[in-house]
Amino acid sequence: MRIPSATPPARFWTPGEQSLIRHRRRDRVRHAWPVTVVHDGPDYTALYLRPGSPVKRPVMPDDSPIPRDTPYAEAARAAQNR
């Protein structure tokens, strides 16, 4: 899927460069993934996330993963209390 941009980037990433993808909500980073750039150009960007890489994600108060079937409101409350 190609998402057109109103302004082209000032530069493209070079293969091998490290980057961090962050998902923010209300000025707070909720998820983060360290990735390596495989390709970056006007048509597409390809990133590699190494298996076993440490990632930031919301968890339950006991540090267990939030089950996928947890209702959104409950998951948000659990993650907010961390």
In a domain, 2, yes or no: no
Q: Quick one: how far is CA 21 from the chain centroid?
A: 4
In a domain, 43, yes or no: yes
Is residue 58 predicted with pLDDT exceeding 80? Answer: no
List Cβ<8 Å contacts ≥24 apart for 34-38: 37/13
In a domain, 55, yes or no: yes
pLDDT at 35: 96
In a domain, 12, yes or no: no
Higher pLDDT, 71 or 47: 47
| Total structural domains within the chain | 1
Please give the model's pTM, rounded to 2 decimal places: 0.63
